Amino acid sequence: MKVGVMLIVLVSSLFATSSSTIGSTEKLFRIGALWPMTGPQAYYGRVMSHGALTALEQVNSEGGVAGFKFDLTITDFKNVDVNLAVAGAQKMISIDKVPVVLTSFSATTLAAQPICEKARVLMINGGAYSPKLINKPFLYTIRIAQHQMVPATLHFFWKQGVRRLAVLYISDPAGELPAKQYIEPLWKEKGGDDRSYGASPARFDRLQRLSCKDQGRQPGCYL
């Protein structure tokens, strides 16, 4: 199990500075997390926290790893508020004594990264995909960055004969910027034009109606 392997690696490399005794032989490994639990992006926080808590519950119920049980402390940065993320990271490092922080969203991750680097706390990014996250000390990203993912995806579509593209994106900067700064310019470099491209904030009731500008025809592909 990938989560179990990751926890073993974290314990073996960080346990000396992170453990506290909760029983005669049982020790606690604390993990921090920066996620939006309330506000417009709360859906992502709920999904990420549910996955993490489910994994930790399973690992703990099976006896933990190398004598350690795991505990998760979550900081809610609400509507991608970098100030809340920074304050939360400082609190989790100084008070909760976490040696690792799970993170997502580019703006909050970039804001908290210098704090974690200074404290030598590892950040694991599982959701943000800005190119600015590459090669940051103490920041390990498991997502492909936009400048790596978008060109390869559009090249594949074009090679498959797709000539009309419709893009659905979340209605906030995290969705709007990739659509405008990466997808549309690269699509036009391939040979597409305004009539063969359409973009709209993602809503289920728009899926059937969204079309390219080429005489209202349905797109060859949704992205």
Q: Mean pLDDT across the chain, nearest whole number?
A: 80
Percentage, residues of the chain above pLDDT 90: 38
Over residues 102-119, the mean pLDDT reads 94
What is the tens place of the pLDDT at every residue in 115-167? 999 999 999 998 887 888 889 999 998 877 777 778 888 888 888 888 888 78
108 vs 4, higher pLDDT: 108
CATH code for residues 2-141: 3.40.50.2300
DSSP, collapsed to helix, strand or coil, labels residue 127 as: coil
Domain parsing of the chain, residue ranges: 2-141, 146-222
Rounded to whole angstroms, the Cα distance separating 164 from 193 reads 9
Q: Say how far apart CA 169 and CA 223 lie, in whole Å.
A: 8
pTM of the model: 0.69
CA distances from 85 to 67, 172, 200 (A): 31, 18, 29
Residue whose token pair is 């960080």: 14
pLDDT at 20: 57
In the predicted structure, residue 188 carries a pLDDT above the cut 60: yes
H-run or E-run covering 193: none
Phi, psi of 181 (to 5 degrees): -90, -25
Q: For residue 69, what is the DSSP state?
A: E
Q: What is the pLDDT of residue 201?
A: 66
**37-66 pLDDT, tens digit each:** 998 888 889 999 999 999 999 999 999 988
Residue 82, judged by CB atoms within 10 A of its CB (0-12, 13-18, 19+), counts as: middle
Q: Enter the tokens of residue 73.
A: 């402390």
